Amino acid sequence: MSSAMWIAVIICALGTLLMRVVPFLWMQRRLGSAAGMNAMPQWLVILGPMMIAAVLGVSIVPVNPSPVSWLATAIGLSVTLLVWRRLRSLGWPVAAGVGVFGAVEVVAALI
Amino acid sequence: MSQPADHTVHANHSPLRSALQGVREAIPLLGGYIPVALSFGLVATQAGFTTWEAAAISALIYAGASQFLFVGMIAAGAPLWLVVAMTLLINVRHVVYGPNLAALLPRSRHWPWLMHGLTDQVFALALTRLPQLPEVKRFSWFVGASLLAWGVWIIGTAVGATGGEAVTARWPLLGEIMPFALPALFLTMVAPRFTDKRWAAAMLCTILAALGLNLAGWSNVAIPLAAACGALCFYTVTFQPRRSRP
């Protein structure tokens, strides 16, 4: 890699780090001021959970989209939701969902 | 789940134990990280980068979609200024993550380098888990969760760059099954919001918009655009409380 390319990597890395750290420190300073918790704009409180929902929407698409992988996704997500409703935790619902998704994919590959 | 009283937590607090809890709770993220890191290592070497260079890009930039764009544009011979501009543009979404976590994390002089670990997935996990943890545990928990994700991302890239083709040839289904851990994990994170009609409508709108944009080939802008659609839906759609019959 040429030195120009290394400089490009470092600019991208520094720029991305600044985008992560500066708004965080700015908000911490704002929250520590006299305005306190009211300093957090409401749109930002709404946008946080929406970002998680958007990451979910993006990650739903299977690696190799096909009728089988979409079916496995639907069954896997349903199982995840059912186990979550019962246990209200993060670990087991994910394990159950991945297990069932994998089982559907493997069975379909064997048929 | 009930939390112990704060003074009891302070007395029994072990930073190492909290960090290990963060490590344990970040394990489901790895289902998505490992296959993508392997793919990135493979794509980077195919684009002419060495293993060490691919691992350095993963360590320094540490943002999946923009890394693929970076090596892809370099391989296509795009001018460096455009590569840098596009990489930074894709990562702009990160600016809303930090402020959302600011109230949940204590002040520390280590944040300028620790925030390097704030990816989409670490943000989602932290925003869900931090409010449930006692304040004293949150810093160590974040360190544990984010360092695990970062370390695995770098190692996965190096493995993908050295033997990615062999790994995917030997376990062809691995790359298809493991990534399902991500939607499963995010589903358990958004599910608690579905008890409220207004939140449910906005979240459903966001999920469908992100899914549609991704299927349409707009994956690079799907997250911020879909989140903006959801927020718009939240502000415009209101539900009337059900009137009781006389």
Residue in A25, A32, A77 nearest the CB of B187: A77
Confidence of residue B156 (pLDDT cuts 50, 70, 90): very high
Distance from CA of B186 to the nearest CA of A (A): 5
Expressed as residue numbers, the domain containing A71 is 49-111
B4 found inside a domain: no
Q: Please give the structure tokens belonging to residue A48.
A: 């946080």
Chain Cα centroid distance, residue B210: 15
Q: How many domains does chain A have?
A: 2
What is the average pLDDT across B118-131? 92
Q: How far apart are CA A75 and CA A42, in angstroms?
A: 36
**Closest chain A CA to residue B109:** A25
Give the burial class of B87: count Cβ atoms within 10 A of its Cβ; 0-12 exposed, 13-18 middle, 19 or more buried: buried
Mark whether A97 and A59 lie in a shared domain.
yes
User: Cα B177–B69–A101 angle (5° rounding)?
Assistant: 10
Q: How many domains does chain B have?
A: 2
Q: How far apart are CA B137 and CA B106, in angstroms?
A: 10
Mark whether B33 and B105 lie in a shared domain.
yes
Q: How far apart are CA A38 and CA B98, in angstroms?
A: 17
Exposure b/e, B138-177, CB count within 10 A at least 16 = b: bbbbbbbbbbbbbebbbbbbbbbbbbbeebbeeeeeebbb
Mark whether A13 and A55 lie in a shared domain.
no
Q: How far apart are CA B219 and CA B198, in angstroms?
A: 26
Q: Which residues of B touch A51 (CB under 8 A)?
A: 93, 96-97, 120, 123-124, 223, 227
B35 found inside a domain: yes
What is the average pLDDT across B77-100? 88
Mark whether B50 and B136 lie in a shared domain.
yes
Virtual CA dihedral for A89, B197, B235, B98, nearest 10 degrees? 0
What is the average pLDDT across B113-124? 92
Mark whether A36 and A53 lie in a shared domain.
no
Q: Which residues of A touch B118 (CB under 8 A)?
A: 20, 24
Residues 6+ apart with CB under 8 A from B63: A16, B90, B91, B94, B119
Q: Which pLDDT tens digit goes with each residue over A36-65?
A: 556 667 887 788 788 889 889 988 998 889
B70 found inside a domain: yes
Residue in B27, B91, B199 nearest the CB of A19: B91
Mark whether A18 and A64 lie in a shared domain.
no
3-state secondary structure A56-107: HHHHHCCCCCCHHHHHHHHHHHHHHHHHHHHHCCCHHHHHHHHHHHHHHHHH
Indicate if the pLDDT at residue A95 is higher than 70: yes
Mark whether A31 and A59 lie in a shared domain.
no
Mark whether A21 and A74 lie in a shared domain.
no
Mark whether B126 and B218 lie in a shared domain.
no
Q: Please give the structure tokens belonging to residue A108.
A: 């379909």
Q: How far apart are CA B129 and CA B122, in angstroms?
A: 10
- Cβ atoms of B219 and A58 within 8 Å: the answer is yes
Residue B109 phi, psi dihedral angles, 5° rounding: -80, -5
Residues 6+ apart with CB under 8 A from B236: none
Q: How far apart are CA B231 and CA B238, in angstroms?
A: 13
Of A11, A12, A5, the C-alpha closest to B50 is: A5
Confidence of residue B146 (pLDDT cuts 50, 70, 90): very high
Mark whether A85 and A110 lie in a shared domain.
yes
Q: How far apart are CA B192 and CA A1, in angstroms?
A: 47
Q: How far apart are CA A70 and CA A109, in angstroms?
A: 14
3-state helix, strand, coil in chain A (%, to 5): 85, 0, 15
Residue in B103, B112, B179 nearest the CB of A40: B103
- Judged by CB atoms within 8 Å, which residues 34-93 of B form the interface with A? 35, 49-50, 53, 56-57, 60-63, 66, 70, 74, 80, 83-84, 87-88, 91-93
B5 found inside a domain: no
Q: Which residues of B touch A85 (CB under 8 A)?
A: 191
B3 found inside a domain: no
Mark whether A30 and A53 lie in a shared domain.
no
Mark whether B54 and B143 lie in a shared domain.
yes
Mark whether B158 and B234 lie in a shared domain.
no
Mark whether A6 and A56 lie in a shared domain.
no
Mark whether A97 and A55 lie in a shared domain.
yes
Q: Which pLDDT tens digit goes with each residue over B2-59?
A: 455 555 566 677 889 999 999 999 998 887 788 788 888 888 888 889 999 999 999 9
Indicate if the pLDDT at residue B184 is higher than 70: yes
- Cβ atoms of B181 and B64 within 8 Å: the answer is no
Mark whether A63 and A12 lie in a shared domain.
no
**Closest chain B CA to residue A10:** B60
Virtual CA dihedral for B105, B186, B43, B170, nearest 10 degrees? 120
Mark whether B157 and B36 lie in a shared domain.
yes
Mark whether A33 and A54 lie in a shared domain.
no
Pairwise CB contact (< 8 Å): A20 & B102: no
B110 found inside a domain: yes
Expressed as residue numbers, the domain containing B57 is 12-178
